[in-house]
Structure 1
Amino acid sequence: MAQNSAVQRPGVPPVPSPATRPRKVGAMRRVVQIMFSNRKSAVGFCLFLFFVALAVLAPWIAPYSPTSTQFAPSLHPSAQHWFGTTAQGQDIFSQFLYGARSTLVVGIGAGMLATALSLLIGVTAGYRGGMTDTILNFLSNIFLVLPGLALLILIESYVHNSTPVFNGLIIGLTGWAWGARVFRSQTMSLAHRDFVTAAKLTGASDLRVMVMEIMPNMTSIIASNIMYACLAAILAESGLAFLGLENVSSISWGTMLYWSSQGDAILTGGWWWFIPPGLGIALVGLSLVLMNYAIDQLTNPRLRELPKAKKKVIW
């Protein structure tokens, strides 16, 4: 049999065989490695995945129906009811699991929508300039001076029995102004760089330059804006539900706080009714803040933490 051997030319490095070539590490694996290289981001990532798992598996984990009133009212936490029961005889642990699903869906969805609008308006204004920048910047300034919570309350007052999804839509459509100003400023600093000029000389359209050249250089800012927009959306939705500006028959952490307030849980000592939803909101917000520590490391290799070298012991 003929051997499959290549003639080695002098001065030319040998071609490595497939078995000796380094394997490319997947993008997801690199993200996980960098996320866990920082202790704060690792804690936030695990905490966020924990609540996402609770939300996804709520129908299988919840021991009872969240709307069932077949139990004794105001029971303390026990083996049968981990978080106790409400004044109406509902299992709080089941409500907590289903409420995590509504709160996370609304928060993440509203945060993504607000970030998308911020990118569309901010990048377009910063790149096009001229009259386009003047009009879009004027629109952003209008939304910036309007008080966010008061605007949401005004809109909700005209919509009776709104759902959490509808509240998330309103929050996303009204919470894009701050991000748009940040993206506009960053785009203006990148619009005259050499790589953007080179892309224009090759005949690339404005849309292609903005999407393929400018936005990839704003990855860290975009990711940070998504996390803080999601956090703001979760707090806004919970606040609206707590004030009764949402359909109180829906199950979310905000409506749980509303019913605990209506049931005088604080005055009667029913701490197990309002602490779980309040603690859940706080922990989800903490996880988003902690994960932000790894964003710069994902986009800037110079900021990645190198493994500490082992100290050599000299005898």
Structure 2
Amino acid sequence: MTNIQSMTGQAPAGPTEELATISRGRGQRPKPAWRLMLPTPTPWLITGLVLIGSIIVFGAIGPLLVGDPAAISNVGLSGPSAEHWLGTTQTGQDVLAQLAHATRGSLLIGFLVGVLATVLSAFFGIYGAYIGGFADEAFSLLSNVFLVIPGLPLVIVISGFVPRESRGLWTIAVVLALTSWAASARVLRAQTLSVRNRDYVAASRVSGERAWRVIAVEILPNLLPVLASQFVFAVIAAILGEAGLSFLGLGASSSSTLGTMLFYAQNGFALPLGAWWWFLPPGLMIALFGMGLSLINFSIDEIINPKLKNARLVRKRARQTARIQKKAVTS
């Protein structure tokens, strides 16, 4: 101890000093403003990022490494083997090749719907709340109408009126986006009404800044965590919605998605025949993708709701305190 004290000029901190440091929160440098906009690394966030990253890589690179998903062979409805890792369908098509192309199609639909729904909700929610007056009332009425109408029946009705030969990825993405923006718009409207009355926003308006610049520079940065959360939720809803439409035969007939895989597996009596390798991979892929996005969304919620982050920090400090107290007792 004498050597340590002579080298550092002070005695090493004991358990009592460590407890005091934890309680005061000392030893932590203030984080930059941009870092506060990012979710805190947690096991849940890392797990979600690994799951989503793996699925995206599989959907992007997988179709380049597998064969033609529509190629028919004379080995029909066979289980996994060295030649066909995930078996074959009733007509001898390779399930792994179908899964790779279907994952890419579902990811593309999810991304398109996420972008379109976020843009629509931002326009009707943020712009309408900032402008106020008749525009805000009209936008609120429109979003309320979409909220009152049940989502899935509306999607089924709209998809039913679209000719089968015209139902591609873009058509399904537009249909899903038009029916999934209203709830996000209501949340963004409430957040914008809170932000637009702050002093720095009022100062920008008084100084003569244009509406689009005030929204982009002063209001939008404060809503980025909410927008990110709404985007993630829109992607999850889009993939599940597309799978439901495809299972009912109303999906993208000219494209391959996870929903179309389940549709053809159901029509091919995969479940009664015990061909689990046909319907289980696409269903598991949808479940894993939804779980990964949900874990990421939980981490984003900590930015939107500081109470969640504070509760996690309290639990972390409690564990540190218990560990130091145990160390003091044993020493």
The two structures share one fold, judged by TM-score above 0.5: yes
- Does the aligned pair in 2 maintain the 1:219–1:299 contact within 8 Å? no
Letter in 2 for 1:105: L
1:67 corresponds to 2:58: no
Q: Which residue of 2 aligns with 1:95?
A: 98
Letter in 2 for 1:108: F
* Aligned counterparts of 1:71 and 1:56: Cα–Cα separation in 2: 29
Return the offset for 1:158: 1.9
1:112 corresponds to 2:115: yes
* Aligned counterparts of 1:293 and 1:222: Cα–Cα separation in 2: 14
1:189 corresponds to 2:194: yes
Q: Which residue of 2 aligns with 1:52?
A: 56
71, 85, 88: which is aligned to 1:85?
88
* Aligned counterparts of 1:270 and 1:97: Cα–Cα separation in 2: 19
> Superposed, which structure 2 residues align to 1:159-174 within 5 Å?
159=162, 160-161=164-165, 162-174=167-179
- Does the aligned pair in 2 maintain the 1:71–1:85 contact within 8 Å? no
Percent identical among aligned pairs is: 38
Q: Deviations over 1:124-145 (max 9, x none)?
A: 2211221111111111111111
Q: Deviations over 1:79-111 (max 9, x none)?
A: 211111100110001110111100001011101
Aligned residues: CA RMSD? 2.5
Letter in 2 for 1:218: L
- Does the aligned pair in 1 maintain the 2:75–2:92 contact within 8 Å? yes
Return the offset for 1:228: 0.4
Secondary structure in structure 2 of the residue aligned to 1:57: helix
216, 223, 242: which is aligned to 1:218?
223
Change (3 A) 1:265 1:234: same
Return the offset for 1:259: 0.4
Q: Structure 1: which 5+ residue stretches go unaligned?
A: 1-23
Displacement over 4 Å in runs of 4+: 296-302, 304-315
Q: Structure 2: which 5+ residue stretches go unaligned?
A: 1-30
- Does the aligned pair in 1 maintain the 2:147–2:182 contact within 8 Å? yes
Q: With structure 2 as the length reference, what TM-score do the two structures score?
A: 0.80
Letter in 2 for 1:128: I
- Does the aligned pair in 2 maintain the 1:125–1:132 contact within 8 Å? yes
Q: Deviations over 1:12-59 (max 9, x none)?
A: xxxxxxxxxxxx99x79x95xx56x21111100110000000011023
Q: Which residue of 1 aligns with 2:265?
A: 260
1:138 corresponds to 2:141: yes
222, 227, 231: which is aligned to 2:232?
227
1:41 corresponds to 2:45: yes
1:200 corresponds to 2:200: no
Change (3 A) 1:167 1:53: same
273, 278, 284: which is aligned to 2:278?
273
Paired residues, number: 288
